[in-house]
Amino acid sequence: MLAFILRRLAQALAVMLAVAFIAFMLFQYVGDPVTNLLGQDATAEDRAALRANLGLDQPFPVQFAAFIGNALQGEFGMSLRQGRKVSALIAERFPATLELALTAAVIALVVGIPLGVYAALRRGRWLAQLVMMASLLGVSLPTFLIGILLILVFAVTLGVLPSFGRGEVVALGGWSTGFLTVDGWKHLVLPAVTLSIFQLALILRLVRAEMLEVLRSDYIKFARARGLSDRAVYFGHALKNTMVPVITITGLQLGSLIAFAIITETVFQWPGMGLLFIQAVQFADIPVMAAYLCLIALIFVVINLVVDLLYFAVDPRLRIEGGTGGHG
């Protein structure tokens, strides 16, 4: 158990170091930071002074260590485009993205699981087949197209929902939330639904497949033989065992939600981290890109780690075999 946890921790650390290294390389070798700060026509002395000041004359490992030290304190320098501290920019945008991703995850779970159960239990009926066809469309449609179609229907044609921005937000300390106003909720509907569709379809298909698998197993036959009601068999026995993989996948997908929010935020001009990142890519704003990369990597690594450990705690078979732990 301890060895497993230590190995996973070491792996997570290695991934983070690799990502930090890539971010550092971006910083160092893509575009000249001195020219970026001083402009083209600075004197050679000025450049040398700034170079020494920034520590750019130090050997490579020292610079990398300094970069890691700064990154650990959330310090990524100034945005080249906006002239503000990257950490402040990201802190300002983070709540919007997190609220969007969480709402999307809740929608995907609350709608996806019941639909998946229905599609499994009523297999062959036309409504269940319709659900499956819709889910196939859901995994094939690109996210940005879903967003555009929703805007076309609900914002342009029907005119019932707003299509850009967060609306009215309330500041709670450093956290700006749209959850507390009606306007904020209205603005949240279309982006959250857009972001959730793909995950919803994925969860639906997963629940259906797992449910069909479980319903074939011996203990379900046994439960039926004991004369339990359909309700007890389906929801007490079958669904419960379906949930383990579903929770794993959902946990892993939370990270993708934050990443895919880039697209949704662009379509709806949602003022989150994704929009910040896309603007950084368009204008080659390296510090913002590097900071976003490290933050996203951290989120992914932490989620993967937690899911792995949870899996280990939930599934006793892994403990006996001393297996390699879920996925790579």
Partner 1 sequence: MKAALQRFFDGDVWYSFRHSPVAIGAALVAAVCVFCAVFAGWVAPHNPFDLATLELSDARLPPAWEEGGQARYLLGTDDQGRDILSALMYGARISLFVGGVSVLLSVVVGVGLGLLAGFVGGRVDAFIMRVCDVMLSFPPILIALLIDGAGRAMFPEAAEHLAFAVLIIAISLSYWVQYARTVRGSTLVERNKEYVQAARVIGVHPLRIMFRHVLPNVTGPVLVLATIQVALAIITEATLSFLGVGVPPTQPSLGTLIRVGNDFLFSGEWWITVFPGVMLVLIALSVNLLGDWLRDALNPRLR
Q: Is the Cβ–Cβ distance between 265 and 274 less than 8 Å?
A: yes
Q: Indicate whether 280 belongs to the interface with partner 1 (CB under 8 A).
A: yes
Distance of CA 220 to the CA centre of its chain: 35
Between 63 and 256, CB nearer to partner 1: 256
Secondary structure class of 78 (helix, strand, coil): strand
Among 100, 105, 115, 301, binds partner 1 (CB under 8 A): 301
Task: Classify each residue of 63-101 as buried b or exposed e, where b means 16 or more C-beta atoms within 10 Å of its C-beta.
Answer: bbeebbeebeeeebbbbbebeebbbebbebbbbbbbbbb
Q: Work out whether 261 is an interface residue with partner 1 (CB under 8 A).
A: no
Report the C-alpha gap between 203 and 192 in whole angstroms: 16
Q: How far apart are CA 42 and CA 282, in angstroms?
A: 26
Nearer to partner 1 by C-beta: 141 or 220? 141
- State in angstroms the smallest separation of the CB of 156 from partner 1: 6
Q: Does residue 256 bind partner 1 (CB under 8 A)?
A: yes
Rounded least distance, CB 34 to partner 1, Å: 15
Smaller CB distance to partner 1: residue 199 or 242?
199
296 scored as a contact of partner 1 (CB under 8 A): yes
Instruction: Let me know how long the chain is.
Output: 328
The reply on whether position 26 binds partner 1 by CB under 8 A is yes
d(CA 275, CA 104): 17
Confirm or reject binding of residue 71 to partner 1 (CB under 8 A).
no
101 vs 238 by CB, closer to partner 1 = 101
Type of residue numbered 261: A
Smallest distance from partner 1 to CB 302, Å: 11
Among the listed ranges 95-103, 210-218, 219-227, 254-262, the one in contact with partner 1 (CB under 8 A) is 254-262
Q: What is residue 161's DSSP assignment?
A: S
Q: Where are the alpha helices (DSSP H) in the chain?
A: 2-29, 33-38, 44-53, 60-72, 86-121, 126-140, 143-150, 182-215, 218-225, 230-231, 239-268, 273-282, 286-314, 316-321
Binding span for partner 1 by CB under 8 A among 59-67, 106-114, 141-149, 183-191: 141-149
Q: Does 37 bind partner 1 (CB under 8 A)?
A: no
Task: Give the separation between CA 97 and CA 93, rounded to whole angstroms.
Answer: 7
Q: Does 73 sit near partner 1 (CB under 8 A)?
A: no
Please identify, using beta-carbon distances, which residue of 117 and 254 lies nearer to partner 1: 254
- Cα gap 315→226, rounded to integer Å: 26
Kindly indicate which of the ranges 38-46, 67-75, 136-144, 307-315 contains the residues binding partner 1, using the contact rule CB under 8 A: 136-144
Q: How far is the CB of 263 from partner 1 (least distance, A)?
A: 6
Residue 293 in contact with partner 1, rule: CB under 8 A: yes
Give the 3-state secondary structure of 272-316.
CHHHHHHHHHHCCCHHHHHHHHHHHHHHHHHHHHHHHHHHHHHCH
Q: Binding mask 149-188 vs partner 1 (x if CB under 8 A, - otherwise)?
A: x-xx--xx--------------------------------
CB nearer to partner 1: pick between 128 and 155? 155
Shortest Å distance, C-beta 300 to partner 1: 5
Check if the beta carbon of residue 193 is closer than 8 Å to that of residue 150: yes
Whose Cβ is closer to partner 1: residue 24's or residue 234's?
A: 24
Phi and psi of 40, rounded to 5°? -70, -35
**Under the rule (CB under 8 A), what is the footprint of partner 1?**
11, 14-15, 18-19, 26, 30-31, 137, 140-145, 148-149, 151-152, 155-156, 256, 259-260, 262-263, 266-267, 277-278, 280-282, 284, 286, 289, 293, 296-297, 300-301, 304, 328
